[in-house]
Chains A and B, each alone.
Chain A
Amino acid sequence: MRFILIDKVLALEPGRSIKAVKTVSLAEEYLADHFPTFPVLPGVLILGGLIEAASWLVRATERFAHSMVLLEQARNVRYKSFLAPGSQVEYKVDADRIEQDLSSFIGEGTSGGQSIVEARFVLRHFNLADKDPRLAGIDAQVIQALKDRWRLIFTDSH
């Protein structure tokens, strides 16, 4: 299984918002366990999709200045319905604020016009080298890998 929770970025307004989509396929391994007779996308991966979309908004906005963009806190994450294989979920994330090392968001996921999830969350951004300069090489590696992935999921002309 690949821990990649969105498939394509549909729209991006740097500093403000991002829209992304994830398609749910029965081929995704964890669906065999969640649940054997009722495969549905795990709620935490739906939250994970919102977080991933928001982290791309941060990275694009700050031009990949930081390697680490991580969840600092999530609040009031409400699950409204299930996502079954063969469906698509659209994530819309609006930024409250994006500062140098902290950003906060409201996100929602919808599928076929139905609300799936709503969440509020805060991300923190930093480089490993901030604490240990020897890790600057790893920062560069992470940033490059994510830049490559960004090119795959966000194309200016779609």
Chain B
Amino acid sequence: MRWIWIDRFVEFDPGKRAVAVKCVSLAEEHLHDYMPGFPIMPECLIIEAMAQTAGILVGQAGDFRQKVILAKIRRAIFYDLIRPADVIHLEAVMDSYTIEAASTSGTVRRADQVVAHIDLLFSHIDQNLSGIRFPEENFVFGQGPIQALLQTLVCVGPLGQAEDGRS
């Protein structure tokens, strides 16, 4: 499995708001362990999907120069289960952004139904975490499946809608 919990961006308003899509498939291994016999997407991975959506929104606001790390989950509330064949939309909105940190609020929807609210706080770790050692280069947005995801930003036009008409 790859550590990538969203599939593509469908809306991207730099510095303000992003919407990504995650398709949930029985082919994903982890679904089979959480509640063995009843595959559902674990809530902590729904949080990660939002963290990746919001983290890229925050990262892009700094041209991906900052190492953006999830520092605090302010709150995450879940209203329903997510099952195979579900397609969820994760909307992240930038609330605050400074050189040290950023905060986002987010909503997860399945069609018209709100299934979760997730509010996060990111740290730009070169500005914080003194005393803890980590690499110089930006390991957050460097190699890995995140690169394929960042390519989907290219397909999202200036008005924030997918240019090929998908949404």
Contacts and interface: CB of A to CB of B under 8 A. Distances in A.
B75 interface: yes
Contact of A2 (B33, B78, B140, B145): B33
B150 interface: no
A48 B44 contact: yes
A147 B134 CA distance: 40
A85 interface: no
A106 B10 CA distance: 37
A5 B42 CA distance: 11
Nearest to A122: B77
Interface in A1-33: 1-4, 29-30, 32-33
Interface residues of B, number: 44
Interface in B24-45: 29-38, 40, 42-45
B51 A35 contact: no
B36 A36 contact: no
A34 B81 CA distance: 26
Contacts of B144: 33-36
A38 B42 CA distance: 25
A142 B73 contact: no
Interface string B36-69: 1110101111011001000000000000000001
Interface of B: 1-4, 29-38, 40, 42-45, 47-48, 51, 69-78, 81, 132, 134-135, 137, 139-140, 142-146
30 contacts: A29-B1, A30-B3, A33-B2, A33-B144, A33-B145, A33-B146, A34-B144, A36-B139, A36-B142, A37-B135, A43-B51, A44-B44, A44-B45, A44-B48, A70-B35, A70-B81, A71-B76, A71-B78, A74-B43, A74-B75, A75-B74, A75-B75, A77-B73, A138-B37, A138-B38, A141-B38, A142-B35, A142-B36, A142-B37, A145-B37
Interface of A: 1-4, 29-30, 32-38, 42-45, 47-48, 51, 67-68, 70-79, 81-82, 119, 128, 138, 141-142, 145-146, 149
Given A45-B44, A75-B73, 12 more contacts: A38-B139, A47-B47, A51-B44, A67-B38, A70-B43, A71-B78, A73-B77, A74-B76, A75-B76, A76-B74, A77-B76, A142-B36
